[in-house]
Structure 1
Amino acid sequence: MWGCDTGGFELCDGLTTGRRLREVWGRRSRERRAEPHEDWWTPAVDAVCTAVVEGKGLAEACGRLGQARARAGTTISGALDDLAALFDALGDAQPPFDMVTALAAGWEDGGRSREDCRDPLTGLANAAYLRTRISELYRGAPHPAAGGPAAHRLVAVALPEGLDPWRRTARLIVLGHELGRFFARGESLALVGRSRIAALAPADAELRERLPRLHAVARDEHGARVWSLALPPTCASALAMVQDLGRRTTDDTD
């Protein structure tokens, strides 16, 4: 077993050990990448921690981690930095070559699977899919101000700030399922940020009538906020709005 710099915490069997390693690893990874990257946690992270604690299966777990990072859009450099942060937490100067190879192979496999445009955790379409749908609206409308874009709204749902990654992910899975039942008329539903979901929906009377109920359910059952946005006159502005929506910590309503 590797030496472990975890503030005096001894590696031993049990969930507490895995949780502590995950905390230290996550902190080191954030320090290396100098950014919040709040989508750091995935089930693959727990698989790696379990493999370290049990002393077996680490190469396979690193492969899973590489796949998860690729599906999340992380570059190979970012994925390798993440792996380096793990071994830094374990007291090693650098990851063994076979772990690097396993991670890189997983990252390549995960990149090929991005064609399905779905987030692997929630099953929702990703932001790239939503941007494609919005672009189609503008291409199909000769006069966007009065055509398809003007007849649609972007409905955003945001979980509260400050949730730990595991609780946030669990809520997103449940919320995504419920929104899929709410938006059941062919609307485009997508995960636009690690705590935000957006739906491209027709701006008709039915949507206006149903939105207050969505507000109430999202607030009471998930502590989430709901607001809707009109699509701007140009496609470029609309795509920028989706990108901005995924990274904002405050919401702009109209």
Structure 2
Amino acid sequence: MGVRGTVTRRFGADGSRALRSRWRTTTMAAGWAFPADWPLAEVDEVCRAVLEERDPSAELHRLGAARAEAGAGLAETLLDLAALHAVLAEPAGATGVVSPCVDATPSRMLRSTALGWGDVMSSRAADCAAEDPLTGLATPAYLRTRLREVYAEARAAGRQDHVLVLVALDLSRTSGWSRVVAMTLLAGALKEVFDGGETVAALGSSVACVLLRRDRHLARALTNLRVLTADRLAVDPHVAPTGPVRVRLEELPPTCEDAVAMVAGLGR
């Protein structure tokens, strides 16, 4: 496209700084709400990619993510992108006010930026939710909250009474929707066996856990869980190949930070 040469001719040798300044001015004129939030390291990365005539998709993805992290909405983020495109599309020698148009922005630029923004927002939504909508199990974010409460209680009591029950399914012989069905059946069994206020959470696509107090009934509950899960899985021929559920006890580590790291690793 010769963008680098065009920008250099228009603004001089320091094209990156000039492009950034013109981009910012255009975005501000279009109604960017918080001028102090606009400058980001990712803006400079996009400018460099454009001036070097490289595909800026990766840089735009990172810019979209950074805008989401900073609190910018999608409409605002795409208007800023449209301002960049409008500046790049200006004829050489243009100095007047340019009006950005999102609809005129190339779809590849829009897609990269919107995906970056959407990835951050999807992650935030998952982290803020307390319950998985498909299985009804608590989310890892809620489990982390409960772990902090449990460790605070342990410090006050001078002892740790809680343990984790880890439950995993082998889903290597299933695919697609059958995986979701299998985890939903497992969730039903978990909530039936542990129905006394324990925290029953999903750690990953095939792993769940129960945070509970250790007591004399725990061994019987684990046996009941194995039997009930096997019965539930056997009913559906599409999920029966998951095989027997794997159940084990996991002692909590000394600190809450270690526990949070542990459950994050177990969910992978």
Q: When the two structures are superposed, what TM-score results if normalisation uses the length of structure 2?
A: 0.49
Q: In structure 1, how many angstroms separate the alpha carbons of the residues matched to 2:265 and 2:215?
A: 25
Closer, same or farther in 2 for the Cα pair 1:234/1:220, shift >3 Å?
same
User: Unpaired segments of 5 or more residues in structure 2?
Assistant: 1-67, 69-73, 75-105, 234-242
Does residue 159 (structure 1) correspond to residue 169 (structure 2)? The answer is yes
Which is greater in Rg?
2
SS in 1 for 2:203: strand
Q: 2: distance between equivalents of 1:113 and 1:142? A: 30
- Give the number of equivalent residue pairs: 153
Alignment correspondent of 2:41: none
Partner in structure 1 of residue 203 of structure 2: 192
Partner residue of 1:118 out of 106, 109, 131: 131
Between 1:130-139 and 1:216-225, the stretch displaced more is: 216-225
* Counterpart pick for 2:180 among 164, 169, 172: 169
Check conservation: 2:199, 2:210, Cα contact below 8 A: yes
Q: How far 1:117 moved relative to its partner? A: 2.3
Corresponding residue number in structure 2 for 1:11: none
Which residue in 1 is equivalent to 2:249?
228
Distance 2:267 2:201 in 1: 11
Residue in structure 2 matched with residue 244 of structure 1 by the alignment:
265
Tell me the alpha carbon deviations over residues 80-134 of structure 1, each in whole angstroms, 9 at most, x when there is no partner: xxxxxxxxxxxxxx96667668767866765457533222322221112111111
1:79-118 to 2 correspondence within 5 Å? 110=122, 111-112=124-125, 114-118=127-131
Matches of 2:108 and 2:201, distance apart in 1:
38
Contact 2:137-2:202 within 8 A present in 1 as well = yes
Deviation readout 1:39-82 (Å, 9 max, x if unpaired): xxxxxxxxxxxxxxxxxxxxxxxxxxxxxxx9xxxxx9xxxxxx
Q: CA deviation at 1:140?
A: 2.2
3-state secondary structure, aligned to 1:227: strand
Partner of 2:31: none
Partners of 1:112 and 1:220 in 2: CA distance: 34
CA contact (8 A) 1:157 1:198 kept: yes
CA distances 1:201-238 after superposition (whole Å, capped 9, x unpaired)? 11111222221121233345433211111112222221
Structure 2 residue matching 1:141: 3-state secondary structure: helix
**Gap change, CA 1:99 and 1:133, over 3 Å in 2:** same
Matches within 5 A, 1:173-184: 173-184=184-195
Structure 1 residues not aligned, in runs of 5+: 1-69, 71-75, 77-93, 248-254
- Change in CA separation of 1:137 and 1:193 when aligned onto 2, cut-off 3 Å: same
Identity over aligned pairs, percent: 38
| AA of the residue aligned to 1:125 | A
1:127 and 2:140 are equivalent in the alignment:
yes
Shift of 1:194: 0.9
RMSD: 3.1
1:117 partner SS: coil
The separation in 1 between residues aligned to 2:150 and 2:127, in whole angstroms, is 23
Q: 1:142 is matched by which residue type in structure 2?
A: R
Contact 2:128/2:141 (CA < 8 Å) preserved in 1? no
Q: Matched residues in 1 for 2:151 and 2:193: separation?
A: 25
